[in-house]
Chains A and B, each alone.
Chain A
Amino acid sequence: MTTATDVHGGVSAARGFPLAAVRGLALALVSLPGAVVCFVTAVVSVALIPVGVGIVTTPYVLRGVRAFADLRRVLAAEWGGVRIPRVYKRLPEDANPWARTFGMLGDPATWRDLLWLLVDMTAGFVTAVLTAALLVYPLEGFVVAAGLWRVLPDPWWYGFVPVSGQATALAAGALALALLLAGHVTAVRLLRAHFLLARAVLAPGAGELAERVRVLTETRRDAVDASAAELRRIERDLHDGAQARLVAVGMDLGTIEALVEKDPARARELLARARQSSAEALTELRELVRGIHPPVLAERGLGDAVRALALRLPVATEVSVSLSGRAEAPVESAAYFAVSEVLANAVKHSGADRIWVDVHHAEGRLRITVTDNGRGGAVVGAGSGLAGVERRLGTFDGVLAVSSPAGGPTLVTVEIPCASS
C-alpha cells in the first residue's frame, strides 16, 4: 500500500539551491559528530558485553543509534522525498537486558545501522558538505574578486587560481561563477544523493519483502472478511426475498389448480396475486444482482457503468472517461463500487449541487477523481463508508485520498494499479 515517493517535485531548482545548501550544511554539522559519537559508543558498549556492563548499556546505546537513523529517515522523506523503510524486529516489552541486548544484536537492521554510521561519517558527510560548499565557496570567490584580494596574503589560492593581482582576482571571480552555476544544477540532486546513499545502506530488500508480506496478510484478511459478509448478505436477501416469494407463488398456483373449477372468480384473484408476487421477486433479484455485479459493468465496462451510475444520481454529475481498454473484471468491480460509495457519500453529506467524475488510466494505474462543490469536511474515519472503500481497495493495492477542507470543495481520488487490456 505504501509506495516510495521518489520524485519530490515541489521545490524548483532556483529556490532549491540555497535551501539545499543550508540543509546540506545542517546535515554535515549533524552527521559527522553524530555518526562518530554513535559509532564509538556502540562499539565500546558492545566491547564491554563480556565484562557485563555492555549488557545493560547496549540496548540504550542501540536505541540512540536508531533514533539518530530515524531522524535521517524523517529528513530524507521531507527534504529529499526519499522514503527509507523502518524495519526493526519488535522485542517483547518485558524482555530482560540480556534478551534485549542479544535480540537487538541479532537483528540485521542493527548491523545495517552501524554500517550506515560509517558511511554517514564519510561519504554521507562529503555529499552534505559539498552541497553547502557549492554555495559558500563561490561567495568567497566573489568577495575576493571584489577587492578582498588586496588585503590577503600574496598569492591567495582560490581553487587552482593563485590570486595576486586584478587579473587573477577576476579569474577567481569567473571560477566562482562557474562553481555557482554547477551548484545551481547539481545541489538539489547532490542532497538527494545523500539520502539515496542512506537508503541504499539502511533499507534492505528483505525488509521491504517483510513489510509487503504484512500488508498482504492484512488485506487478504480484509478481503476474506468482506466477501464472507457479502455472501451472508446475499444469502439472507435471497432467503427472505425472492425465495420466499417463489414459495408463495407455488402455493397460490396449487390453490388455483384446486379452485379453477369450483370458484373461477377466486382463482382469477389468486392468479393476479401470483403474478404480482413473481414480479416482486424479479424486482428484488434485480436489485440484488445490481449489488453483486451491476449489469452495465458486465455489458459495457467501467466507463459506461460510471456514466449510468451518474444518470441515477439526483445531483447533476459530469463524467469524463479516458480508458483505452478494459481492466480486469475484479479491478473494474472494485473501482465501480468505490466510485459508487464515494458518490453516495457526496450526495448524502456534501450538500453539493454539482459533481465531477474523471476516470482515466495512465502509467499502469487506474485513477478516478470525484470532485464536488459541497461543504467539505469529509473524513476517512472509523465506520464511515470511505473507510470501507479504503479497506476494499487495499486488496488491489489501491489507495484512497480525500481532500476535503471545511467549506469545500471535496476531492476524492481512487487509484488502483492495473494493466489495461
Chain B
Amino acid sequence: MRVVLAEDLFLLRDGLVRLLEAHGFEIAAAVGSGPELTRALAEEEPDVAVVDVRLPPTQTDEGLQCALQARRRRPGLPVLVLSQHVEQLYARELLADGDGGVGYLLKDRVFDAEQFTDAVRRVAAGGTAMDPQVIQQLLARRSAQDRPLERLTPREREVLELMAQGRTNAAIAARLVVTERAVAKHTANIFAKLGLEVSDDDNRRVLAVLAYLDHGR
C-alpha cells in the first residue's frame, strides 16, 4: 500500500516513515510543505495520504487545505489528517463531501502503532477514522440538546462512540470483548432509537451516525 506522508518536523516525519514501513506500508513520498504535498499527491497517485494539518510555508492549516483540494480533484482520495489538536470544525469540513475515505486523528494516536496502522488501512479502504475526542465532543454537545441520545443504554453509547470513530462491528466486538452478534444487536437498537435508516454498508453507517451527531436529523 503506497503512502504519501506530509509532516514538517523532521523527527516526526522520520518516525512515521519508520513506523509505517515496519508495518508493511510503502512510502511513495515523505514531504515537509504544502506545495510539495500537492505535487506529490498529483504525481504519485498514492493509496492513502497521511497529512499534518499545519504545514509550511504559511504554518496555517495548509495541510488540511491541500488535502481538501486534492480530494476535490480526485473525489474519494483517502486522506488521514493528523493534528496536535482536534476541532469539530475541521472534522466537519473533511466529512462534508460525503465520499468517505477520511481520517482525522490526534498525533498522540501514533503511540499505539496497531491502532494507528489499522486506521490508515481503514481510511485507504474508503472507511472513516475519527478521533475519539471528536466523537466525545460531538456526543457531549448533542446530549445537551437531544432526547433520543438519552434513551441509549450505557453499553449502546459505548458502541455508538466506537462506531462513530469508524470501527467495524468486528473491531468493536474485539474492543468490548463481546460477540459480533451482540454488537450487531446493539447497533440495530441504536439505529432504531435514533430513527436512522439501517445500512449494510459499514461506511454509510458511520457517515450517517456522524451526520446525526453533528446536525441531528
Contact = CB atoms under 8 A, between A and B. Distances in A.
Contacts of A312: 88, 137, 141
Nearest to A275: B111
B111 A278 contact: yes
A286 interface: yes
Contacts of B92: 311
Given A278-B111, A279-B108, A316-B145, A296 B140 contact: no
A277 to B, nearest CB: 11
Interface stretch (B12-20, B42-50, B53-61): B53-61
A290 interface: yes
A300 interface: yes
Interface string A312-354: 1111100000000000000000000000000000000000010
Contact of B89 (A289, A290, A296, A316): A296
Interface string B137-163: 100110011000000000000000000
A278 B84 CA distance: 14
Interface in A284-323: 286, 289-290, 295-296, 298-300, 304, 307-308, 311-316
Contacts of B88: 308, 311-312
A126 interface: no
A77 interface: no
- For A275, A283, A289, A314, the residue with the greatest tally of chain B CB atoms inside 10 Å of its CB is A314
Interface residues of A, number: 23
Contacts of B53: 299
Interface string A265-279: 000000000010011
B85 interface: yes
A282 interface: yes
Interface string B83-95: 1110111001000
A313 B85 contact: no
Nearest to A276: B111
A300 B111 contact: no
Interface in B15-66: 53-54, 59-61
Contacts of B111: 275, 278-279
Interface in A216-271: none
A282 B108 contact: yes
B144 A314 contact: yes
Contacts of A353: 145
A300 B61 contact: yes
A300 B85 CA distance: 14
A298 B53 CA distance: 12
A80 B137 CA distance: 52
B89 A299 contact: no
Contacts of B140: 314
A311 B87 contact: yes
Nearest to B63: A299
Contacts of A300: 60-61
A289 B107 CA distance: 15
Contacts of B83: 295
A311 B141 contact: yes
Given A311-B89, A314-B144, A298 B108 contact: no
Given A286-B84, A308-B87, A308-B89, A299 B60 contact: yes
5 contacts: A290-B85, A295-B85, A299-B60, A308-B89, A312-B141
Interface of B: 53-54, 59-61, 83-85, 87-89, 92, 107-108, 111, 137, 140-141, 144-145
Interface of A: 275, 278-279, 282-283, 286, 289-290, 295-296, 298-300, 304, 307-308, 311-316, 353
Given A282-B108, A299-B60, A311-B87, 5 more contacts: A279-B108, A295-B87, A299-B54, A312-B137, A314-B141
Give the top 5 A-B pairs by smallest Cβ distance, nearest first: A314-B144, A299-B61, A311-B88, A308-B89, A299-B60
